[in-house]
Amino acid sequence: MKLTTIDIHVHVDPSLPIRRPGDVLRTDFLLSRDLSIAALARYTGIRAQRIHGILTTGTPIGAGQAVRLAPVLGTSALYWMLLQAQYDLARAMANRSPGQQLKSL
């Protein structure tokens, strides 16, 4: 049984700025709903310290947090995982040395 199909050539619009998942969480969800870290911690069961780290230090959102955030914020867990993957990939690409050229097989 096939549940999901993902195209191997998924692309992100390069004209859009890459945002840290914590910035998205703060701006698009907490501020717009006047929701505090403590309240989000109570609703999700994620420790307030962990949420604070996601918002301020760039602590990654893992699968466990994504599963807890999704129903509370009206998103999917995959949404949070894709935001994190997009951010991590953008950082890896930016940190690649300029002379590093990889060849296709």
What is the domain range of residue 35? 21-91
Domain count, the chain: 1
pLDDT in tens, 7-46: 666 666 767 788 999 999 999 999 999 999 999 999 999 9
| Tokens linked to 66 | 């994504």
Judge whether 102 lies within some domain. no
At position 78, the amino acid (one-letter code) is L
Surface-to-core class of residue 66, CB atoms within 10 Å of its CB (0-12 exposed, 13-18 middle, 19+ buried)? buried
Judge whether 67 lies within some domain. yes
User: What's residue 47's pLDDT?
Assistant: 98
Mean pLDDT of 53-74: 97
Judge whether 99 lies within some domain. no
- Residue 73's CATH number: 1.10.260.40
Judge whether 101 lies within some domain. no
Q: How far apart are CA 80 and CA 72, in angstroms?
A: 13
User: What's residue 10's pLDDT?
Assistant: 64
How high is the mean pLDDT of the chain?
88
Judge whether 11 lies within some domain. no
Mean pLDDT of 47-66: 97
